[in-house]
Amino acid sequence: MSFCFLFPGQGAQYPGMGRDFYDHSTTVQELFQQASDAAGRDLSRLVFDGTAEELKQTDNTQIAITVTSLAAAIVMREHGLSPAACAGFSLGEYAALVESGVLALEDVFPVVLARGQIMEEVSRELDTATGSAGMTAVMGLSFEKVSEVLSMAPAEDVYPGIWNSPVQTVISGTADALTAAEDALKKAGAKRCIRLKVSGPFHSPLMSKAATRFADVLADTTFHDPTLPVYSNVTGDTITTGAEARNYCVKQLISTVQWVPEQRAVVRDGFHRVAEVGPGTVLSGLWKNYTKTEHETELPCRAAGTVEDIKTLAAE
């Protein structure tokens, strides 16, 4: 049975995620050992026993979510559930690149580890006495309206970061810029503005220094052409070559994540069986909002974040 695998990004993490995968599969245990060797520390301790605050730090979050998502993919395949296509939300794109044959498993952990460290360091340079740079989810306004309000906002250093759903956009900025933008967006009709559990203003021009440093990291990494359809956050459409994938990995740091166009492309290409492979249910909620708005019938996104979730899918 085949699904389009959707892999979650930062914000999906929680203490203890993936422990049941580890207990269930020796292949997952080997995966965690490989990731631990790349990170130079015990990732099973971080993922299973780390605090929410530890897991929130970008240099911890990114490798923790990646290893947990890839563990979920292993257990999916062990239960006869294979990917027909892959897409990843922000950080989740790296698990998607592995599953689609673009990145080798031995390469993804050093890459993700470096990405997290670089993004954390650059983000901390943007902190001020009034708070940390970060991201805010804006509910109840279209992406176009949010972009319009930000273009007229009095504060600089705030940008559309992620086009989450037809009625939700995440903005990225410095602490003061986010506060000013939140006020402006509420006056424009936003129902709620929620600061996210991330530690930087990702997917915005504020990460330009990180993109430059990350490009150097990727220069020596091999990117293969995909062996099955995989979608890009930068364009919202399929990646056709390894060279494209490398370029988009750098651009993703400074570009708005085109998640709504990406979901449209998945449906356009006929992938109607979709599973959220990894921790949390964020992507399932976004998929529900998207299909409810743009399709006559809701297309479900199935949870695949625990062994029990996967057993349920395999039994259908």
Instruction: Tell me the C-alpha distance between 165 and 167, whole Å.
Output: 5
CA distances from 177 to 138, 156, 158, 199, 308 (A): 14, 6, 6, 15, 43
Q: In angstroms, how far is the first alpha carbon of the chain from the final one? A: 10
Helices (H), the chain: 19-24, 26-39, 43-49, 52-56, 58-78, 93-99, 105-125, 143-152, 175-187, 208-218, 242-251, 259-268, 282-294, 307-315
Among residues 36, 165, 199, 203, the one annotated as catalytic is: 203
204 is catalytic: no
Among residues 90, 172, 232, 284, the one annotated as catalytic is: 90
Q: Please give the distance of CA 10 from its chain centroid, rounded to a whole number.
A: 6
Instruction: Tell me the C-alpha distance between 301 and 233, whole Å.
Output: 19
**Tokens 């494209």 sit at which residue?**
244
Instruction: Tell me the C-alpha distance between 246 and 107, whole Å.
Output: 13
295 is catalytic: no
CA distances from 215 to 251, 265, 313 (A): 9, 27, 39
Active site residues: 90, 203
